[in-house]
Chain A
Amino acid sequence: MLVAATRLTVAQTDTKNKVADQISELIATQDAAVAKLMEEVRALPREQQREAYQKGYPQPKDTIDALSAIVRKNPANEASLKAISWMSGRSRGRALSPEMFAALEEHHLNSSELSTVVLSLYSANSEEAQAFLATVVEKSEVKEAQGSALYVQAMQMERDPVKAEEYKAIVEKLNAEHADFEVRGRKVAAMMKATVEAKEKLAIGKPAPEIIGKDVDGNEMKLSDYKGKIVVLDFWGDW
């Protein structure tokens, strides 16, 4: 019995490693193809680079299909999370099928690597992606992943006026529970809150905040100097 059990464990470990190897190899092959193309493109004259890159880009579809098949068979494998993360990163979350989200929810909700996948979902607005983000916020025990999911939810709502209230609620929650959460080294909760407050102050119907500034020659000018006139305040840049 004991021998049989040991054998079984060995067999399981073998499968586990085999899955990890297969995933690594698929990813490495595709990444190497992209790296090779980049090298060739860089050798070309500048004006030809863009077209050559677009023309020669090795489409990741086959790799994504192969990785998805492996994940479907081995959803709990740690390497499956790596595969999902890679697919998501290459497609801004759009290449993830519902089964990939199911694998994440069932087996990887408390992985310390989960936030990488979550952050790559900012333009994935499928129902599954939305449901997945909500699940992470509710159920993940990894604070970083929760913060990432709230942040991505907020980013997706930011430009949707219909969701302004929902957006505000998420920014509040981020500030209350994830004040230290950082994206690329920046504490985003406070930044988002400042933007929300600025936007409220600058809503249509609100009094224009005073501007006291200077023109480029150093002459002082104020917005209130123009009271009694209609003002088009026009922030421009010439680049």
Chain B
Amino acid sequence: MYPHERSLVERLKDKPFTILGGSSDTDEKYKKAIKENNITWPSFWDGGKTGGPIAKAWAVRGWPTIYVIDAKGVIRYKNTRGKAMDEAVDALLKEMEGE
């Protein structure tokens, strides 16, 4: 999944877009994962175990869990992965350009 997300970030680097991660990994695993997978976007660190406060507030019960939020802060899509994630983000970008 990381290569796909990396390419999305790369493709939209000049657009009002970001990925924000949320990680339930332990400190070391999180750091290692960021380095090995070349994760360039920011990530919330959720206390090093599953069921942390952020995961709880966002009803995370499996991984990955994905929310797509528009520029106004409204939840617009849930659990879109791969191609569907790209399409969701592109649709929101188009919507912004139209306004």
Contacts and interface: CB of A to CB of B under 8 A. Distances in A.
Interface of A: 195, 198-199, 202-209, 211, 213-216, 221, 223-224, 226-239
A100 B45 CA distance: 51
14 contacts: A198-B56, A207-B73, A208-B73, A209-B57, A215-B43, A216-B31, A216-B34, A223-B73, A230-B15, A231-B20, A234-B22, A238-B25, A238-B32, A239-B29
Most A CB within 10 A of own CB, among B23, B27, B75, B96: B75
B17 to A, nearest CB: 5
A206 B18 contact: no
For the complex, would chain B's binding face be called helix, strand, loop or mixed by DSSP majority? Answer: mixed
B65 A235 contact: yes
Given A216-B31, A238-B30, A238-B37, 8 more contacts: A215-B42, A215-B45, A227-B71, A230-B18, A234-B20, A234-B65, A236-B21, A237-B25
Nearest to B1: A236
B75 A216 contact: no
B45 A214 contact: yes
B73 A235 contact: no
A224 B54 CA distance: 14
A230 B92 contact: yes
A234 B92 CA distance: 17
Nearest to B50: A237
Given A214-B45, A221-B44, A232 B74 contact: no
Contact of A198 (B50, B57, B75): B57
B72 interface: yes
A238 B85 CA distance: 20
A216 B26 CA distance: 9
Nearest to A199: B59
Nearest to A222: B44
A214 B8 CA distance: 24
A224 B67 CA distance: 15
B63 A235 contact: yes
Given A199-B59, A235-B60, A235-B64, A208 B21 contact: no
A238 B78 CA distance: 20
A216 B68 contact: no
A81 to B, nearest CB: 34
B42 A221 contact: yes
Contacts of A199: 59
B46 to A, nearest CB: 7
Contacts of B17: 229-232
Contacts of B66: 232-235
A218 to B, nearest CB: 9
Contacts of B24: 235, 237
